[in-house]
Structure 1
């Protein structure tokens, strides 16, 4: 199913740094009224999304810090309930306090990941019982997707192609099990096949960023073309996030 090379960890770290710089540049313009406005995520304001970016950035940086000591630790003290409570508590801050907190988290993330050397990427972490590269990939996904969710000027259509390729691989478990789902990018040669070729084929075509947005549960910039047995059809329902 996967046809693209796995991006080396050092290149992922460079992409993460670029994403952090983009977010930093977008934060100063936010007003108190704007952080209260809805995000792209149902029930969450921009402040909720930014508070989550702060939290996940610190959580993955913590995975890196402890891994370099040869220790394992939960991403969040108190697990998912503490994570949810932290997002709600952080979302009540005004734009200045929120921006300061997010910038501080980005600074810590940069420092933590900069400390990881070429021989360290296979060090184990608690997150998904993976390694440091796994944790870095998580931060890359979370940073890019939630920056888009915040609706502050950088959306899915701006996602780098390497990120799109990674997301299409990571999100493969979302493909329906009873279909042979084929994604065809109309702005390049990328094609993804999910499921068994013996199942009914559903082909979805569109720009790479729009295909990726759909697989990530986000709205494509323009409608995708979906065909089932050659006839136009509604997009299939995707499964839960992996």
Structure 2
């Protein structure tokens, strides 16, 4: 399988639409959060829900800034202060009270939505500093971050709710984690003729891992799949690309 060239991964209106839907969904999930909910554990070890929401706030603003500056013909660093600046902002922000944190995230979503809404049909190929890519590259990163971390926040949506388009994109992007020396094939159960799907990456010892597409994507993303995969032992994945 190779990455699709249509739909959200091609940028343009399809990517703008999934970003808008994800941002709108996150807004609805923030309603009614209290301090206990913000301090509760997330799906990420060592991180509370407040850590995850603060990270969404920061990464969303950082990637929106990539698009905003690209429209001016300028390049800018993803995070002020680089990775250490990102980490410091999460540590400084996760302990905020629920009203302060959710208001800040709401304000961030206002800015994020405005930035992506300003991207026109001819703007998606403009260069950005993120991965030396384009506005589409930054938009896809925000799609991944938004969908994965919304699930990490344990506010309702889970990886089982990820769309087929997102899952195939995650598999393609995250297949870089396949270790050297392994020819990994991922496959779905194929309960019906149109359910069968497969993806192969790498060279070496053949390893077959089967499961539902959402579970395969969750595993490659370093999350616990909602349903068990077959393939024992599962290979140890490398770092996030």
If the length of structure 1 is used for normalisation, what is the TM-score?
0.93
- 1:200 corresponds to which residue? 205
- 1:215 corresponds to which residue? 220
**1:56 aligns to 2:59 (yes or no):** yes
2:3 touches 2:169 (CA, 8 Å); kept in 1?
no
Between the two proteins, the alignment pairs up a number of residues equal to 234
Distance 1:71 1:23 in 2: 30
1:180 touches 1:195 (CA, 8 Å); kept in 2?
yes
Q: How does 1:66-81 map to 2 (within 5 A)?
A: 66-81=69-84
Distance 1:110 1:191 in 2: 35
Q: How does 1:1-242 map to 2 (within 5 A)?
A: 1-2=1-2, 4-7=4-7, 8-9=10-11, 10-186=13-189, 188-196=195-203, 199-226=204-231, 233-242=232-241
Distance 1:30 1:202 in 2: 43
Distance 2:118 2:219 in 1: 35
Distance 1:3 1:26 in 2: 31
Q: Secondary structure at the match of 2:66?
A: helix
User: How far apart are residue 149 of structure 1 and its match?
Assistant: 0.8
Q: Secondary structure at the match of 2:170?
A: helix
Residues 41-100 of structure 1 deviation map (CA, whole Å, 9 limit, x = unaligned): 111110000000000110011111111001110111111111111111110111111111
Distance 1:110 1:185 in 2: 35
Distance 2:106 2:159 in 1: 22
Distance 2:197 2:111 in 1: 35
Distance 1:151 1:46 in 2: 8
Q: Secondary structure at the match of 2:183?
A: strand
Unaligned runs of at least 5 residues, structure 1: 227-232
